[in-house]
Amino acid sequence: MQFNTETKNGHGTVEIEVRDLTIAGWTGRDSAAVQHHIDELAAIGVAPPSQVPLFYRVSHNLLTTRANVQMLGETSSGEAEPMLIRAGGQLWIGLGSDHTDRELETVSVASSKQVCAKPCADHLWDFSLVADHVDQLEVRSWIWEDGDWVLYQDGTLAQILPVAELAGAIDMRDGQAMLCGTFAAIGGVRPASMFKAQLHDPVRQQTITFSYTAQPLPVVV
């Protein structure tokens, strides 16, 4: 995968072969917020996790920078999450979406993540650029609903476990990528085919953005 990059030396591009993709779940730093998210999903029939945090392995080829992806049915939705990638001995941070099949999630969380593409921005920051203020990074997402963009998520990385700690928990090595968890949806989790998100650094006044459309495929029985 090719990414546009920002380092201390300026801007460039890097080709990264992602060989391993992990989805970190239930990563909230505030236990009450984690329980809120568990309760939020329980309301739509999702079983609680066996432990927190929980690390789901999914196929690495699900990660994509394409702006159009295909999903089975109309019951899926995205979740904006900070994304870590280690390559060439270097840690990068970016932004991705843990797009999930909400209907299948009530049967198996792991399966619901495996069946969906994981769109991500094609821009990465050298982690060293944000390491001293990473908790201040802001993540927001919007869904297209009733003919307009509606704010869906809004939070800072201070609301999830330290991302460097999450990387250490799985001993991230070259070729590994991880989506690091997310915040509760404003108005509750619900399907949406059009999604956009941003990762904003208020200290450096830099922003990573991306958007995508999830084209529903017919469910044939």
Distance CA 109, CA 126 (A): 31
Compute how many other C-beta atoms are within 10 angstroms of the C-beta atom of residue 57: 13
Would you say residue 138 has pLDDT above 90?
A: yes
Is residue 48 very low, low, confident or very high in pLDDT (cuts 50, 70, 90)? confident
Task: Indicate the range of 49-53, 117-121, 126-130, 197-201 predicted with least confidence.
Answer: 49-53
Would you say residue 40 has pLDDT above 80?
A: no
Please state the pTM of the whole predicted model. Answer: 0.94
Distance CA 91, CA 145 (A): 36
Is residue 39 very low, low, confident or very high in pLDDT (cuts 50, 70, 90)? confident
Residues 6+ apart with CB under 8 A from 5: 11, 12, 13, 14, 92, 123, 124, 125, 126
Q: What is the pLDDT of residue 61?
A: 97
Predicted confidence (pLDDT) per residue in 159-204, tens digit: 999 999 999 999 999 999 999 999 889 998 899 999 999 999 999 9
Q: Could you identify the residue written with the tokens 């590994």?
A: 176
